[in-house]
Amino acid sequence: MKKTVFIIGSSLLLLFTACQKEMSTNDITIYPGSPLNDTIWTRTTPSTGSVNDLVNYFLPQVIIDSFDASKSDVTLSYGDSLSISFPAGSCVGTSANGGTPGVPSGKVQLQILRLKTKGDYIKTFRPTTSNGYLLEAAGGFFIRILSREGKELALAPGATVKLSFSDIDPVKANMQAFYGKETYPLPANTVIDTGFTWMRDTDTTWLSTFQRPSTISGNAIINGYTINVKNLRWVAAERFIDSTAKKAKIFALLPPNFTNKNTAVFAVFMNQKTIVNLAPEFSSRSFTASNIPIGSKIRLITISKIGDDFYMGTKDINDLGTNTIFSVSPDKIGVTGIVTYLNSL
Protein backbone atom coordinates (compact mmCIF):
# COMPACT_ATOMS: atom_id res chain seq x y z
CA MET A 1 0.00 0.00 0.00
CA LYS A 2 1.39 3.39 -0.97
CA LYS A 3 1.90 6.02 1.66
CA THR A 4 3.88 9.18 2.25
CA VAL A 5 5.82 10.10 5.37
CA PHE A 6 7.81 13.10 6.52
CA ILE A 7 11.34 12.35 7.70
CA ILE A 8 13.39 14.18 10.18
CA GLY A 9 17.02 15.31 7.79
CA SER A 10 38.49 44.14 -6.41
CA SER A 11 41.35 42.72 -4.63
CA LEU A 12 42.16 40.58 -1.68
CA LEU A 13 43.01 43.72 0.23
CA LEU A 14 39.50 45.02 -0.32
CA LEU A 15 38.02 41.72 0.84
CA PHE A 16 40.04 41.48 4.03
CA THR A 17 39.40 45.15 4.77
CA ALA A 18 35.69 44.50 4.38
CA CYS A 19 35.89 41.44 6.62
CA GLN A 20 37.74 43.34 9.32
CA LYS A 21 35.16 46.08 9.21
CA GLU A 22 32.26 43.63 9.37
CA MET A 23 33.82 41.76 12.27
CA SER A 24 34.97 44.65 14.37
CA THR A 25 34.52 44.00 18.09
CA ASN A 26 32.42 47.15 18.15
CA ASP A 27 29.76 45.31 16.15
CA ILE A 28 29.53 42.30 18.47
CA THR A 29 26.57 42.11 20.81
CA ILE A 30 27.12 40.09 24.00
CA TYR A 31 24.31 37.73 25.01
CA PRO A 32 24.91 36.46 28.57
CA GLY A 33 24.94 32.66 28.72
CA SER A 34 23.94 32.32 25.06
CA PRO A 35 25.67 30.34 22.26
CA LEU A 36 25.35 33.54 20.23
CA ASN A 37 28.53 34.65 21.99
CA ASP A 38 30.58 32.10 20.03
CA THR A 39 32.13 34.02 17.13
CA ILE A 40 35.09 31.69 16.55
CA TRP A 41 35.57 30.10 13.12
CA THR A 42 37.28 26.75 12.66
CA ARG A 43 39.49 25.79 9.71
CA THR A 44 37.15 22.91 8.93
CA THR A 45 33.55 22.60 10.02
CA PRO A 46 33.39 20.15 12.94
CA SER A 47 30.87 17.31 12.85
CA THR A 48 29.55 18.65 16.16
CA GLY A 49 28.76 22.05 14.63
CA SER A 50 25.08 22.92 14.95
CA VAL A 51 24.93 23.54 11.18
CA ASN A 52 24.84 19.76 10.80
CA ASP A 53 21.63 19.64 12.82
CA LEU A 54 19.87 21.29 9.89
CA VAL A 55 19.75 18.03 7.90
CA ASN A 56 17.25 16.67 10.44
CA TYR A 57 14.66 19.41 9.94
CA PHE A 58 14.11 20.15 6.25
CA LEU A 59 14.15 16.93 4.19
CA PRO A 60 11.17 16.72 1.79
CA GLN A 61 8.58 13.99 2.01
CA VAL A 62 9.55 10.45 1.07
CA ILE A 63 7.39 8.10 -0.96
CA ILE A 64 7.39 4.62 0.57
CA ASP A 65 6.08 1.67 -1.46
CA SER A 66 6.80 -2.02 -2.03
CA PHE A 67 6.98 -4.53 -4.90
CA ASP A 68 8.01 -8.11 -5.56
CA ALA A 69 11.56 -7.98 -6.93
CA SER A 70 11.62 -11.63 -7.98
CA LYS A 71 8.55 -11.70 -10.24
CA SER A 72 7.54 -10.05 -13.52
CA ASP A 73 8.29 -6.47 -14.52
CA VAL A 74 6.53 -3.88 -12.39
CA THR A 75 5.67 -0.22 -12.95
CA LEU A 76 4.72 2.00 -10.01
CA SER A 77 2.99 5.32 -10.67
CA TYR A 78 2.43 8.31 -8.38
CA GLY A 79 -0.19 10.61 -9.80
CA ASP A 80 0.61 11.44 -13.40
CA SER A 81 3.90 13.16 -12.64
CA LEU A 82 6.14 10.21 -11.69
CA SER A 83 6.49 6.54 -12.62
CA ILE A 84 9.27 4.01 -12.11
CA SER A 85 9.61 0.60 -13.79
CA PHE A 86 11.65 -2.34 -12.48
CA PRO A 87 12.47 -5.31 -14.72
CA ALA A 88 12.18 -8.68 -13.01
CA GLY A 89 15.38 -9.56 -11.14
CA SER A 90 16.86 -6.08 -11.52
CA CYS A 91 17.41 -5.58 -7.77
CA VAL A 92 19.99 -7.71 -5.98
CA GLY A 93 21.54 -8.01 -2.55
CA THR A 94 25.28 -7.48 -2.14
CA SER A 95 27.70 -8.68 0.49
CA ALA A 96 29.18 -5.18 0.51
CA ASN A 97 25.93 -3.95 2.10
CA GLY A 98 25.82 -6.84 4.54
CA GLY A 99 23.09 -8.59 2.60
CA THR A 100 22.69 -11.90 0.82
CA PRO A 101 23.92 -11.81 -2.80
CA GLY A 102 21.32 -12.46 -5.49
CA VAL A 103 17.72 -11.54 -6.21
CA PRO A 104 15.68 -11.38 -2.97
CA SER A 105 12.47 -13.35 -2.70
CA GLY A 106 9.21 -11.65 -1.85
CA LYS A 107 8.51 -7.96 -1.46
CA VAL A 108 11.12 -5.24 -1.06
CA GLN A 109 10.63 -1.67 0.16
CA LEU A 110 11.04 1.27 -2.22
CA GLN A 111 11.90 4.75 -0.93
CA ILE A 112 11.87 7.80 -3.22
CA LEU A 113 12.78 11.33 -2.17
CA ARG A 114 12.05 13.79 -4.96
CA LEU A 115 13.88 17.07 -5.63
CA LYS A 116 11.29 19.01 -7.55
CA THR A 117 11.94 22.66 -6.68
CA LYS A 118 14.90 24.88 -5.87
CA GLY A 119 13.86 24.69 -2.25
CA ASP A 120 14.06 20.88 -2.31
CA TYR A 121 17.72 21.04 -3.34
CA ILE A 122 18.42 23.35 -0.39
CA LYS A 123 16.44 21.19 2.05
CA THR A 124 18.59 18.19 1.13
CA PHE A 125 21.86 20.17 0.92
CA ARG A 126 22.38 18.92 -2.65
CA PRO A 127 23.51 21.94 -4.72
CA THR A 128 23.43 21.64 -8.50
CA THR A 129 27.18 21.57 -9.08
CA SER A 130 29.61 19.06 -10.55
CA ASN A 131 33.14 19.40 -9.16
CA GLY A 132 32.62 23.15 -8.87
CA TYR A 133 30.96 23.62 -12.27
CA LEU A 134 27.39 24.88 -12.33
CA LEU A 135 24.45 22.79 -13.47
CA GLU A 136 20.87 23.58 -14.31
CA ALA A 137 18.49 20.90 -13.02
CA ALA A 138 15.16 19.59 -14.25
CA GLY A 139 14.69 17.35 -11.20
CA GLY A 140 16.48 14.91 -8.95
CA PHE A 141 15.74 11.80 -6.90
CA PHE A 142 17.05 9.70 -4.05
CA ILE A 143 15.99 6.11 -4.76
CA ARG A 144 16.66 3.37 -2.21
CA ILE A 145 15.45 -0.24 -2.08
CA LEU A 146 15.59 -2.34 1.08
CA SER A 147 15.20 -6.09 1.52
CA ARG A 148 12.85 -7.56 4.14
CA GLU A 149 15.89 -7.71 6.43
CA GLY A 150 16.47 -3.96 5.98
CA LYS A 151 19.59 -4.37 3.81
CA GLU A 152 20.11 -1.92 0.96
CA LEU A 153 19.87 -3.45 -2.50
CA ALA A 154 21.68 -2.50 -5.70
CA LEU A 155 20.90 -2.87 -9.38
CA ALA A 156 22.06 -6.10 -11.00
CA PRO A 157 24.95 -5.74 -13.48
CA GLY A 158 23.59 -4.36 -16.74
CA ALA A 159 20.12 -3.70 -15.30
CA THR A 160 18.38 -0.34 -15.72
CA VAL A 161 15.32 1.18 -14.11
CA LYS A 162 13.06 3.40 -16.20
CA LEU A 163 12.22 6.65 -14.39
CA SER A 164 9.74 9.09 -15.99
CA PHE A 165 8.79 12.38 -14.38
CA SER A 166 7.32 15.76 -15.20
CA ASP A 167 9.07 19.05 -14.55
CA ILE A 168 7.50 22.19 -13.15
CA ASP A 169 9.51 24.18 -15.74
CA PRO A 170 9.34 23.94 -19.55
CA VAL A 171 11.11 20.83 -20.87
CA LYS A 172 14.59 21.40 -22.33
CA ALA A 173 16.01 19.21 -25.08
CA ASN A 174 19.58 18.86 -23.79
CA MET A 175 19.30 17.48 -20.27
CA GLN A 176 21.59 14.56 -19.32
CA ALA A 177 21.70 11.95 -16.57
CA PHE A 178 23.81 12.69 -13.49
CA TYR A 179 24.50 10.55 -10.41
CA GLY A 180 25.37 11.74 -6.93
CA LYS A 181 28.83 11.03 -5.54
CA GLU A 182 28.49 10.85 -1.76
CA THR A 183 31.04 11.25 1.00
CA TYR A 184 28.67 10.84 3.97
CA PRO A 185 25.77 8.73 2.67
CA LEU A 186 22.32 9.39 4.07
CA PRO A 187 20.58 8.16 6.13
CA ALA A 188 23.46 6.50 7.98
CA ASN A 189 25.10 9.88 8.61
CA THR A 190 23.36 13.02 9.78
CA VAL A 191 25.97 15.60 8.85
CA ILE A 192 26.01 17.84 5.79
CA ASP A 193 27.87 16.07 3.01
CA THR A 194 30.16 18.93 1.97
CA GLY A 195 31.95 16.61 -0.47
CA PHE A 196 28.79 15.69 -2.37
CA THR A 197 28.89 16.36 -6.11
CA TRP A 198 26.92 15.38 -9.20
CA MET A 199 28.78 13.29 -11.79
CA ARG A 200 27.58 13.04 -15.38
CA ASP A 201 26.73 9.59 -16.71
CA THR A 202 29.30 8.09 -19.07
CA ASP A 203 26.44 7.99 -21.58
CA THR A 204 26.24 11.69 -22.41
CA THR A 205 23.32 11.49 -24.85
CA TRP A 206 20.40 13.78 -24.17
CA LEU A 207 17.53 12.42 -22.15
CA SER A 208 14.31 11.42 -23.88
CA THR A 209 11.40 13.79 -23.34
CA PHE A 210 7.69 13.07 -23.50
CA GLN A 211 4.37 14.86 -23.84
CA ARG A 212 1.08 13.21 -22.97
CA PRO A 213 -2.36 14.08 -21.62
CA SER A 214 -2.82 14.14 -17.87
CA THR A 215 -4.78 11.23 -16.44
CA ILE A 216 -6.13 13.26 -13.52
CA SER A 217 -6.29 16.92 -14.61
CA GLY A 218 -8.78 17.17 -17.44
CA ASN A 219 -7.20 18.51 -20.62
CA ALA A 220 -3.82 19.28 -19.07
CA ILE A 221 -0.69 18.18 -20.95
CA ILE A 222 2.20 16.61 -19.01
CA ASN A 223 5.74 17.28 -20.23
CA GLY A 224 8.77 15.54 -18.80
CA TYR A 225 11.85 13.36 -19.04
CA THR A 226 12.77 9.68 -18.98
CA ILE A 227 16.01 8.45 -17.38
CA ASN A 228 17.30 4.91 -17.80
CA VAL A 229 18.74 4.70 -14.29
CA LYS A 230 21.91 2.62 -13.94
CA ASN A 231 22.67 3.31 -10.28
CA LEU A 232 20.38 3.71 -7.29
CA ARG A 233 20.47 6.45 -4.64
CA TRP A 234 21.00 9.94 -6.13
CA VAL A 235 20.09 10.51 -9.79
CA ALA A 236 19.10 13.70 -11.62
CA ALA A 237 18.31 15.28 -14.97
CA GLU A 238 20.72 18.19 -15.33
CA ARG A 239 22.93 20.06 -17.80
CA PHE A 240 26.07 22.17 -17.60
CA ILE A 241 25.61 25.94 -17.77
CA ASP A 242 27.33 27.73 -20.67
CA SER A 243 31.01 27.90 -19.76
CA THR A 244 31.91 30.80 -22.09
CA ALA A 245 30.49 33.57 -19.88
CA LYS A 246 32.90 35.52 -17.69
CA LYS A 247 32.83 34.23 -14.11
CA ALA A 248 33.27 35.78 -10.66
CA LYS A 249 33.93 34.58 -7.12
CA ILE A 250 31.33 35.90 -4.71
CA PHE A 251 31.57 36.40 -0.95
CA ALA A 252 28.81 36.51 1.68
CA LEU A 253 29.64 38.29 4.93
CA LEU A 254 27.46 37.71 7.99
CA PRO A 255 27.47 39.20 11.49
CA PRO A 256 30.19 37.70 13.76
CA ASN A 257 27.79 35.34 15.56
CA PHE A 258 27.17 33.44 12.31
CA THR A 259 30.13 31.18 11.62
CA ASN A 260 30.94 28.03 9.67
CA LYS A 261 29.91 26.03 12.75
CA ASN A 262 26.29 27.14 12.65
CA THR A 263 25.47 28.51 9.18
CA ALA A 264 24.92 27.27 5.61
CA VAL A 265 24.74 29.67 2.66
CA PHE A 266 23.31 29.13 -0.84
CA ALA A 267 23.07 31.17 -4.03
CA VAL A 268 19.83 30.53 -5.90
CA PHE A 269 19.56 31.58 -9.55
CA MET A 270 16.28 33.36 -10.10
CA ASN A 271 15.73 32.42 -13.76
CA GLN A 272 16.69 28.73 -13.68
CA LYS A 273 16.91 25.75 -11.32
CA THR A 274 20.53 26.26 -10.26
CA ILE A 275 21.57 26.19 -6.60
CA VAL A 276 25.15 26.79 -5.45
CA ASN A 277 26.59 26.17 -2.01
CA LEU A 278 28.82 28.95 -0.68
CA ALA A 279 31.60 27.16 1.17
CA PRO A 280 33.05 28.63 4.37
CA GLU A 281 36.45 30.29 3.87
CA PHE A 282 38.42 30.44 7.09
CA SER A 283 40.97 33.04 5.95
CA SER A 284 38.33 35.68 5.19
CA ARG A 285 35.67 34.50 7.68
CA SER A 286 33.17 34.53 4.85
CA PHE A 287 31.20 32.13 2.64
CA THR A 288 32.31 31.92 -0.98
CA ALA A 289 31.49 30.39 -4.36
CA SER A 290 33.32 30.55 -7.67
CA ASN A 291 32.21 30.25 -11.31
CA ILE A 292 29.21 32.55 -10.92
CA PRO A 293 28.51 34.11 -14.35
CA ILE A 294 28.74 37.91 -14.50
CA GLY A 295 25.29 39.42 -14.99
CA SER A 296 23.53 36.66 -13.06
CA LYS A 297 20.40 37.42 -11.07
CA ILE A 298 20.72 35.45 -7.85
CA ARG A 299 19.50 35.40 -4.27
CA LEU A 300 21.74 34.57 -1.34
CA ILE A 301 19.99 32.51 1.33
CA THR A 302 21.52 31.81 4.74
CA ILE A 303 20.17 29.25 7.21
CA SER A 304 21.57 28.97 10.73
CA LYS A 305 20.99 27.07 13.93
CA ILE A 306 22.40 28.65 17.08
CA GLY A 307 21.45 26.90 20.28
CA ASP A 308 17.77 26.01 19.94
CA ASP A 309 17.02 28.94 17.62
CA PHE A 310 16.93 29.16 13.82
CA TYR A 311 17.84 32.13 11.64
CA MET A 312 17.47 32.93 7.95
CA GLY A 313 18.74 35.79 5.81
CA THR A 314 18.32 36.73 2.16
CA LYS A 315 20.05 39.13 -0.21
CA ASP A 316 18.95 39.78 -3.81
CA ILE A 317 21.62 40.46 -6.43
CA ASN A 318 19.87 41.66 -9.57
CA ASP A 319 22.90 41.93 -11.86
CA LEU A 320 26.18 40.50 -10.61
CA GLY A 321 28.97 42.88 -11.66
CA THR A 322 32.16 44.32 -10.25
CA ASN A 323 30.88 44.15 -6.68
CA THR A 324 31.19 40.55 -5.49
CA ILE A 325 31.12 41.07 -1.69
CA PHE A 326 27.70 41.07 -0.08
CA SER A 327 26.54 41.48 3.51
CA VAL A 328 23.60 39.42 4.77
CA SER A 329 21.84 39.99 8.11
CA PRO A 330 19.83 36.94 9.23
CA ASP A 331 16.64 37.20 11.27
CA LYS A 332 15.34 34.77 13.87
CA ILE A 333 12.70 32.47 12.43
CA GLY A 334 11.08 29.13 13.18
CA VAL A 335 11.56 25.90 11.24
CA THR A 336 8.05 26.23 9.77
CA GLY A 337 8.90 29.68 8.48
CA ILE A 338 12.06 28.41 6.79
CA VAL A 339 10.24 25.49 5.17
CA THR A 340 7.45 27.77 3.97
CA TYR A 341 9.99 30.10 2.40
CA LEU A 342 11.94 27.31 0.72
CA ASN A 343 8.70 25.87 -0.65
CA SER A 344 8.03 29.20 -2.36
CA LEU A 345 11.24 29.22 -4.39
HEC profile for 160-191?
CEEEEEECCCCCCCCCEEEEEECCCCCCCCCC
H/E stretch holding 200: strand 197-200
What confidence score (pLDDT) does residue 137 get? Answer: 98
pLDDT bin (cut points 50, 70, 90) of residue 184 is confident
- The amino acid that residue 182 corresponds to is E
- The amino acid that residue 137 corresponds to is A
With beta carbons less than 8 A apart as the criterion, state whether 80 and 216 touch.
yes
Q: Does pLDDT of 22 surpass 70?
A: no
With beta carbons less than 8 A apart as the criterion, state whether 327 and 287 touch.
no
In this structure, how many other beta carbons lie within 10 angstroms of the beta carbon of residue 341?
16
User: Which candidate, 122, 129, 131, 116, places its Cα nearest to that of 166?
Assistant: 116
Q: Does pLDDT of 340 surpass 90?
A: yes
Summarised one tens digit per residue, pLDDT across range 194-208 is 999 999 999 999 999
In this structure, how many other beta carbons lie within 10 angstroms of the beta carbon of residue 312?
18
Q: Does domain 61-240 have CATH number 1.10.3300?
A: no
For CA atoms 92, 97, 101, 104, give the dihedral sign. Answer: negative
Q: Does pLDDT of 264 surpass 90?
A: yes
Query: 18-22, 96-100, 292-296: lowest mean pLDDT where?
Result: 18-22
H/E stretch holding 268: strand 263-269
Q: Does pLDDT of 226 surpass 80?
A: yes
- The amino acid that residue 232 corresponds to is L
- Beta pairing class for 221-229 and 208-213: antiparallel
With beta carbons less than 8 A apart as the criterion, state whether 298 and 268 touch.
yes
In the chain, list all ranges with CATH 2.60.220: 61-240
**What is the arithmetic mean of pLDDT over 205-230?**
91
Q: 109, exposed or middle or buried, with CB in 10 Å at 0-12, 13-18, 19+? A: middle
With beta carbons less than 8 A apart as the criterion, state whether 254 and 287 touch.
yes
Q: CB-side exposure of 188: number of CA atoms within 13 Å? A: 10
